[in-house]
Amino acid sequence: MDDAAVHVLVFPWPRQGHINPMLHFATALVDAGVQVSFLHTERNLRRLAHAPPVGLRLLSIPDGQPDDHPPGFLELQESMSTTGSAAYRALLSAAGADSTVTCVVADSTIPFAFDIADELGIPSLAFVTHSACSYLALLSMPKLVELGETAFPADDLVRGVPGMEGFLRRRDLPRGLCCAEKCGEDPLVLKLAEVTARSSKARALIVNTAASMERSALAHIASCTADVFAVGPLHAKSRFAASTSLWREDDGCMAWLDGHEDRSVVYVSLGSLAVITHEQFTEFLAGLAATGYAFLWVLRPDMVQMASSALLREAVGAAEGGRGRVVQWAPQRDVLRHRAVGCFLTHAGWNSTLECAVEGVPMVCWPFFVDQQTNSRFVDAVWRTGLDMKDISDRGVVERTVREVMKSDEIRGMAQAMAQQLRRDVAEPGLSSSEFERLVRFIEELKHCMKHRLNNAVPHST
């Protein structure tokens, strides 16, 4: 590494939905002349299906999990904060000793990344891979718990999240897998609230969102953090067109889409983590089949509890009479860009939401956990670019909602207007693009401060 250059260590949480935006971020930094090292876990580095973008150095640390065991979030937090953090400390100490790392940009869900960087005197910035509105909701969690306004399947409006008092309901708050009376004690949500609070103390917060989408939430976050940079949607400006997938994509579905009329297909994907019950699968399939539309469905092999892929394919084949196509993993950004796609039935993960928004495709949301609950409320009640099925997803609701979204000119118009705005935001001199430039200057300034400190600390001999 060149001593004189600005060098950023980018450290994503080792999950698909975190790696994708941080890789686009890293590529944008490289394009701005910054040296970037990208820190994977050893497991993910082995799984990567494509070569990294040119100019990016890949590093890895262990995640402390056996290879054959896909860990849950809390389990991974535990092993990353022991095994992973020890390796991270060693790596950063070595880099810190010869001052080659200007700063760390770590995922907001990795508290030890900030603690260790602080101890070693290396500035750290937090990267938020989810929406500003869900970050604000997690930041507001202590207040919500105090008010007794935690996630619950009810329509009562919540008071504890600034700026969202008029439309956010208890059912729209971040939650774990359970949505019971004791949701305020949900260990997943409590952990996320804790790591969010820690990340808000970082030197600055980088959010993969656009001010045009989340101005109010960003303003509230800015009032309790040192600085906020809204630089998204990053994928829309990324020169890294290749996929960042940890799974092998089934490209065959693109030719299948080519054979369909414009806006006639429903694209269905629930992201990389959601797992549904067999009953939910059956209801969903029945609802989709009843709409009469062709559909492209991403069914990961581990997505439906207690069911084999072969059985699921058979069920889909029997239900829809040839109008459906099932893949294990799709080239999602290409699919959303295809003229044949009429709507996206999604879990409203933030990457999926942004990818869909940039293509101007209307959404039907079926959220599962954490930020998805809040994102889907924004899609329905704030941006009006789709409809939110929330926690009700029986066959009748699926059928009605998909039909309505496929037919609504109003929703399509809103989705397309948002897409145009987002393209302006990421193009120069759009707001996200200017924010990215401001961020690069901010990081360069850190380098100058560091040089200044070192020069003052080591007096020149005469």
Residues carrying an active site annotation: 18, 107
Q: What are φ and ψ of residue 175, in 5° steps?
A: -145, 165
Residue number with CB closer to ligand UDP (200 or 351): 351
Smallest distance, ligand UDP to C-beta of residue 344, A: 10
User: Which residue's entry shows tokens 């309901």?
Assistant: 169
Residue number with CB closer to ligand UDP (176 or 184): 176
Assess 188 for contact with ligand UDP (CB under 6 A): no
Smallest distance, ligand UDP to C-beta of residue 272, A: 3
* 8 A C-beta contact, residue 240 and residue 24: yes
Assess 184 for contact with ligand UDP (CB under 6 A): no
Applying CB under 6 A, among 245, 291, 375, 385 the residue interacting with ligand UDP is 245
Smallest distance, ligand UDP to C-beta of residue 126, A: 17
Q: Which sign does the torsion angle of CA 269, 270, 271, 277 carry? A: negative
| Footprint (CB under 6 A) of ligand UDP, residues 250-269 | 269
Tell me the site size for ligand UDP, rule CB under 6 A.
18
| C-alpha distances out from residue 330 to 243, 276, 362, 395, Å | 10, 19, 19, 24
Residue number with CB closer to ligand UDP (337 or 424): 337
Cα 316-321-324 angle, rounded to 5 deg: 50
Smallest distance, ligand UDP to C-beta of residue 455, A: 43
* 8 A C-beta contact, residue 228 and residue 174: no
Smallest distance, ligand UDP to C-beta of residue 252, A: 13
| Footprint (CB under 6 A) of ligand UDP, residues 3-32 | 16-17, 20
Binding mask 289-318 for ligand UDP (x = CB under 6 A): ---------x--------------------
Smallest distance, ligand UDP to C-beta of residue 210, A: 16
Residue number with CB closer to ligand UDP (325 or 333): 333
Q: Quick one: which H or E segment has residue 18?
A: helix 16-31
Assess 272 for contact with ligand UDP (CB under 6 A): yes
| Footprint (CB under 6 A) of ligand UDP, residues 331-350 | 332-333, 349-350
Assess 351 for contact with ligand UDP (CB under 6 A): yes
Distance CA 171, CA 151 (A): 6
Residue number with CB closer to ligand UDP (73 or 229): 73
Assess 375 for contact with ligand UDP (CB under 6 A): no
| C-alpha distances out from residue 340 to 72, 259, 267, Å | 36, 8, 10
Residue number with CB closer to ligand UDP (196 or 352): 352
* 8 A C-beta contact, residue 31 and residue 53: no
Burial of 187 (0-12, 13-18, 19+ CB in 10 A): exposed
The contacts found for 412-416 with CB under 8 angstroms, 24 or more apart, are: 412/360, 412/362, 414/383, 414/384, 414/385, 415/356, 415/357, 415/360, 415/361, 415/362, 415/363, 415/385, 415/386, 416/360
Residues lying near ligand UDP in the complex (CB under 6 A) = 16-17, 20, 245, 269, 271-273, 298, 329-330, 332-333, 349-352, 355
